[in-house]
Structure 1
Amino acid sequence: MNGRQFALYLARDLHCVCGCVGREDTFVPQHRAGRGMGGSKVLDRPANILVMCSLVNGLIESDSKWASAAREYGWKISRWESPEETPFYDLASGTWNLIDNTYHRVITQKKAA
């Protein structure tokens, strides 16, 4: 992934899914459906990438409670799921969103009050 692509992800997401808006240098791209070791570059498409802070990224990869929450919120999905059709929950806005491969996101549902 090049710097231009990452800038497009930052412009689309504006913050980590946890809600933090930290410095841009603390954000990393996270594959929703994992590529695995030496996996397919087909999974590098924009709908499969979320911007996360390095703290949350590390926690969902190493802590079982965070990994479970990441699956529940759509931050991590199975390889057989379509990132374009699987919404994710944004804690900051309290909304479920879909993202496409043209760096856009659309709110699909607001959190019930």
Structure 2
Amino acid sequence: MSAPTRQTRTDVYTRDGYRCVMCGATSPLEFQHRRAVGMGGSKILPPPVDGLTLCSTCNAACEAERQDEALAHGWKVRRWVTSPERVPVYYPGELAWFRLDGIRRVRITSAVAMEMGCAVYGDEWMRWRAHALFGADGRNGR
């Protein structure tokens, strides 16, 4: 996947309220590819459902130490997922789950988010959720 068009970037920033989805920061903002683009990318242009607004700090964390959390909250999507709109996205600033529908967000319940995540990832979704909620040692640290 290549870089988004200027219009897609604007649509994603607008959809996300020009705030980092993870922490709420307003700058510096970056377009986060939900699906990995790989080295050098590709010729495929990402649609809005393949992107989120993140600040540079959170974008870097999604690729490193917070990757399980990013997968559990839909901020990242496995490369093999062909329909990223099937993976719900958690917006912590709103304490709410959404499914992305083009440039719109549709609010869903946590039960629907769980059904969607499990439909795509199965038990792996549950492991990510447990890790995101309780940490690697099993204690609730967040």
Report the TM-score, using the length of structure 2 for normalisation: 0.66
Q: Counterpart of 1:5 in 2: which secondary structure? A: helix
For 2:56, the equivalent position in structure 1 comes to: 54
Q: Which structure carries more relative contact order (alpha carbon 8 Å, separation 6+)?
A: 1
Aligned residues: CA RMSD: 1.9
1:7-86 → structure 2 map (5 Å cutoff): 7-14=10-17, 15-23=19-27, 26-42=28-44, 44-63=46-65, 66-81=66-81, 82-86=83-87
Report the TM-score, using the length of structure 1 for normalisation: 0.81
Gaps in structure 1 of 5+ consecutive residues: none
Higher helix share: 2
Q: Percent identity?
A: 33
Q: Which amino acid aligns with 1:108?
A: I
Gaps in structure 2 of 5+ consecutive residues: 112-142
Q: Which amino acid aligns with 1:53?
A: C
Higher strand share: 1
Runs ≥4 in structure 1, deviation > 4 angstroms? none
Query: How many pairs were matched up?
Result: 106
Would you say the 8 A contact 1:94–1:110 is kept in 2?
no
Q: For each residue in 1:79-108, what CA deviation from the matched residue of structure 2 results, as whole angstroms up to 9, or x when unmatched?
A: 22221111011110011111123x111111
Q: For each residue in 1:45-95, what CA deviation from the matched residue of structure 2 results, as whole angstroms up to 9, or x when unmatched?
A: 1101011011100112132xx111101111111122221111011110011
Distance in 2, Cα, partners of 1:84 & 1:7 = 18
